[in-house]
Amino acid sequence: MLYPGERDSGGCAISGMMSESGLPFPGDAIIRSIAVMRERSSGLGGGFVGYGIYPEHASLYAFHLILDHGAAEEAARAFLEANCAIVREEPIPTRPLPEISRRPILRRWFLGLKPELRERYYDETEEDIVVRLVMHINREIDGAFVMSSGKNMGIFKGVGYPEDIGRFFMLEDYRAHTWLAHGRFPTNTTSWWGGAHPFGLLDWAVVHNGEISSYMVNRRYLENFGYHCTLHTDTEVICYLCDLLMRKHALPVEVASRVLAPPFWTSIERLPAGEKEEARTLRMVYAGALLNGPFSIVVGHSRGLIGLNDRTKLRPMTAARSGDMLYLASEESAIQAVCPSPDRVWRPRAGEPVIGVTRMPDA
């Protein structure tokens, strides 16, 4: 039982939905879904990500930035102009709401990389160079933080209840084929705009319910590959691990899931010979990427959606399908709010990924 004014620290709400045929739908659906789980939030953080929201700039990277003050805005602009071809820069549209106060500066840039920057890092991919830019802004420019940096997608987050954050950013005006949402209860970290979920890098975005007790091990491991955690929240490591495992190391989703939430050693010893050898190898090669602690996560990317529980399923997750729609949420009620009669509803097993793949109309 909670006393008046007391908040449930075991909370956090996650929701994700996607059209596997790639058909866009407005953001009011994901707002309705996450609003049902208001009691799992605390008003200290909420956020969303939409994929396919910038079709007119689909070939450009869309940088969404949180800026604490004017000097941070000027420094970030100067850095981006020095390294990127800016096609468009503008404030992120918002509406005034009494529920959202003390907001930072929120801006977005649509950009490509300058040829001279690509020549400087000639032995790296374009995506690797973009990661360099994000890491530099987050580490070196005081008061500047990159919310998202992918193509044809964007993260919108802040301090408040998620349904208020959604209305603040006017998400009903955006159309996406995939949406994620989060209502946050900060477990071990302070409440601030950059610390709200989702966490993003390139086209990866992660929402998370739980706590990553292996954070420091994961963080040190990632630093070997050029990733630096600066947002003061454990979930940040999950996003960077997704980029490392599935983009840089090209691991299939199923294999990456067994890295993040592997079987216990005792379970591995009971596997058939071939599976046992693979499981042992993954545990040893990627020991620093294993996630310990209770978690349920939904990972978004430009071509799909991934849901994953920890290996003992200490946080809830419900999945559902209806036609070409895939839904993932902390509670079935969040799915029922937008899809009252799904074709199938199930609870994924511990460590078993739920995988959605977007088949774009032009694919």
**What positions carry a catalytic annotation?**
12
Backbone angles phi, psi at 324, to 5 degrees: -95, 5
Backbone angles phi, psi at 155, to 5 degrees: -105, 140
- The answer to whether 113 and 170 have CB atoms below 8 angstroms apart is no
- Name 182's Cβ contacts closer than 8 Å, sequence gap at least 6: 12, 13, 14, 15, 34, 45, 46, 47, 48, 157, 162, 196, 197, 198, 207, 208
Tracing tokens 């008003």 back to the chain, one arrives at 43
Q: By three-state DSSP, how is residue 72 classified?
A: helix
- Name 160's Cβ contacts closer than 8 Å, sequence gap at least 6: 43, 45, 46, 99, 100, 168
Tracing tokens 């940096």 back to the chain, one arrives at 149
Backbone angles phi, psi at 239, to 5 degrees: -60, -45
The residue length of the chain stands at 363
Secondary structure letter of residue 195 according to DSSP: G
CA 263 to CA 180: how far, in whole Å? 27
